[in-house]
Chains A and B, each alone.
Chain A
Amino acid sequence: MSERRKHLEFLRKTAREAIWAGDYERALTLYDDALSLARSWKDRDLEDLFTCNRATTLIEMDRQDFDLSRLKEVLLRNPSSYNGVLAAYVSANAHEARGEYAKARFYAQTALAKARDLGEEELTGTSLNLLASLELHESRFEAARGLFEEALERLESEGESLSRQAAVAADNLGYCHIALDRMDVGVPLVERSLSVLDRLGARQAMDYPSLDLCFAHVKRNRLDDAESWGIRALGLGKEFGRDDVVKNSHYLLAETYSEMGRESQADEHYEALASYYPSFPALKHYLRQISLMEVINLRA
């Protein structure tokens, strides 16, 4: 390895360590420097890689101040190499973050196809998960179910069945079944996910499984269980500042209490939910009249 490569690999390794430690600001600084040096030293391969790494870090930071066209350029220049697959995958994430789901789906499909062609196992797995999540977001539960099944099978075949990634995939797969009214298959998958996450101490990741179990129990009319999981999901959502979880929890708890005939408690949650939509003052009354349980998508 050349001296230049050693420097760039050192920066890359240090940036990855910063990401694992959750220090995204430092990782970004390191990727910025690495990108500058790779450009200066004319190492196109690592320049492309750092372009993707930097964009991924910014997406993780909920920032979009990067040039998306650069990623597309990397993809076009490297149609059949690791950097090209990575660029497609990061482009999909970038479009997803911008709410451009059709484009996100296109690039996720591109990344998945190329990763499979090249035999890039890790990128195949992450692309599968992303594409499945995008299908789920668009309420295409059957398509999402197939992809999550494959993702989970891959992880299990790699001996990763007790990993955080497998637990999240199992939860998503379980949710697909629940949404398709296959409670008997979906609920055990979500329970398995919760058990793994609990063992791993991954409390934050337990928010959606809790929400999913609440949802399943409301659908099955097991209201005491629904209340218990809904309160748990709400607590986790508040603790980790996840508005999407908090809003869904309020809605499911309101439905639960409404079905239980505990109208004042239902009202509290409808009001809490309505407070997120000040421009829709009639929301609370609307939700009292119409149940969205048949059309709700907790991943939308």
Chain B
Amino acid sequence: MNRPRLPLTAASLLAATLLFASGHARAEEKSLLAPDGTVYTVRSGTAGDLAVSGPGIRPDDNLIEWTSLAQDGKRRLGVIPNTISHNPKLNLDLAFDEQSASLVLLWKEELSVLNVLHLGVYKQGVWKQLDLLPNLGFAHAYNPGMLLSHQVVHWIDENGRDAWKTRSLLSVIWWEESQYAQARYAPIFLDEDTSANDVPVYDLPSMVGGGGVPTSYDEIPPGAYLYPSLQLEGPGGAILASFADLATKKQYVARIAFPTDLGTAGPSTKTSLRRRIPVVGITMQGPVAMNLPSDVSSPILTIVGPTYNPTLIWSQEKAVKFIRYDVVSGKWSAPRAIAVTETMSVEKAMQLVQEMATRN
């Protein structure tokens, strides 16, 4: 079918989001400690809830406020530009890139028939907004996540000498339901002057040779596809994207890297122009995981191990559970569980499973 129908659980999530959108009674907050000791905090909610006032701001306007507290006690605060509107702003996520001294904020703006993802980049005292455009239609983004990575690149400078620098890459991944239901990916180079109009967004199934065909949910549990994830491959700077493709009913782990040799200096040389084009390789493909719970009240965490086989982890009914993909048999394991007891907290159980998944 062309226009996928929301499965029950995804529809429930959407309903909850819309309920929140109309209720607008809760503020959301996120904090981050930068390497220089500055604490950044962002809060979203109505101006009334956040006690923010100013010219043109109505108490029922939704906005995002930011504050910073430096080691010398200096405090800065303000409203992030272009965030004042009737629409709720949710799913705040923060990251700080020391290399480019950039604070990055990711959020989701809930409109009525669609939602959109925005990125705010705070650099040298100025906020800049970038938009991650959805596909055409009534698109809804779910579970956006971001990951910072760094990559050493080489080029020949104006004097013909070898030169190296470290590039900062912010990768964003999310699940989107519009014409097709699929995972999407956007790379943003924080050390370059990216404008709001030139953030490329890729359909992940297309990056592994599929995509562009109708998708259907069939009996696939929502947890198997709603939480695409990103992970660093290692110090080389490549990242691993784990996602499900509903058209082929496959689970993929894709390695995404960018050219490290930029050739001769100059923004218009061919090699330089290729610097933002992702180089993608499939490191794992298998059947989509069917033995996940249909209830996705807790998020599904993905850890890709050293042999690129993923482990999917979730918390359910006083237990932390996981399944692993077995490359030899080409199958997913049955769910395994660690019971949560007085001596085994959820956090501890999660940590144990993550350590196991990372090492195996």
Contacts and interface: CB of A to CB of B under 8 A. Distances in A.
A29 B116 contact: no
B111 A36 contact: yes
B112 interface: yes
A7 B112 CA distance: 15
Interface string A33-56: 100110111000000000000000
Contacts of B133: 3-4, 7
A7 B136 CA distance: 6
B113 interface: yes
A277 interface: no
A142 interface: no
A41 B131 CA distance: 8
A37 B116 contact: yes
A32 interface: yes
Interface string B192-204: 0000110000000
Interface string A2-42: 11101100100000000000000000011011001101110
A29 B138 CA distance: 12
Contact of B82 (A3, A4, A40): A40
Interface in A88-130: none
Contacts of A30: 112-113
A36 B116 CA distance: 11
Nearest to B111: A33
A40 B136 contact: no
Contacts of B131: 4, 40-41
Interface string B114-138: 1010100000000000010110110
Contacts of B137: 10
A14 to B, nearest CB: 8
A4 B111 CA distance: 16
Interface in B90-149: 109, 111-114, 116, 118, 131, 133-134, 136-137
B86 A10 contact: no
Contacts of A4: 131, 133, 197
B112 A33 contact: yes
A2 B133 CA distance: 11
B87 interface: yes
Contacts of A33: 111-114
A37 B136 contact: no
A6 B116 contact: no
Contacts of A6: 136
A215 B155 CA distance: 88
A282 B95 CA distance: 77
Given A4-B133, A7-B136, A29 B109 contact: no
Nearest to A34: B111
A30 B113 CA distance: 7
Contact of B85 (A3, A10, A39, A41): A39
Interface residues of A, number: 15
A196 B87 CA distance: 46
A4 B199 CA distance: 12
Given A3-B133, A7-B136, A10-B137, A32 B112 contact: yes
Interface in B191-232: 196-197
A36 B89 CA distance: 13
Interface in B46-95: 82, 85-87
Contact of B197 (A2, A7, A37, A39): A2
A150 to B, nearest CB: 41
Nearest to A33: B111
Contacts of B87: 36
Contact of B86 (A2, A3, A36, A41): A36
B338 to A, nearest CB: 44
Nearest to B87: A36
A29 B111 CA distance: 9
Given A36-B87, A40-B82, A40-B85, A29 B136 contact: no
A83 B251 CA distance: 50
A36 B136 contact: no
A4 B130 CA distance: 12
A40 B109 contact: yes
Contacts of A32: 86, 111-112
B16 to A, nearest CB: 19
Contact of B113 (A2, A3, A29): A29
Given A6-B136, A7-B133, A40-B131, A29 B197 contact: no
Nearest to A28: B112
A191 B82 CA distance: 57
A3 B132 CA distance: 11
A54 B109 CA distance: 20
A27 to B, nearest CB: 11
A167 B113 CA distance: 37
A36 B113 CA distance: 12
Given A6-B136, A33-B112, A33-B113, 9 more contacts: A4-B131, A7-B133, A7-B136, A30-B112, A32-B111, A33-B114, A40-B85, A40-B131, A41-B196
13 contacts: A2-B197, A3-B133, A4-B133, A4-B197, A7-B134, A10-B137, A32-B86, A36-B85, A36-B109, A39-B85, A40-B82, A40-B131, A41-B131
The 9 A-B pairs at the shortest CB distance, nearest first, are namely A33-B111, A29-B112, A3-B133, A33-B112, A33-B113, A36-B87, A36-B111, A36-B85, A10-B136
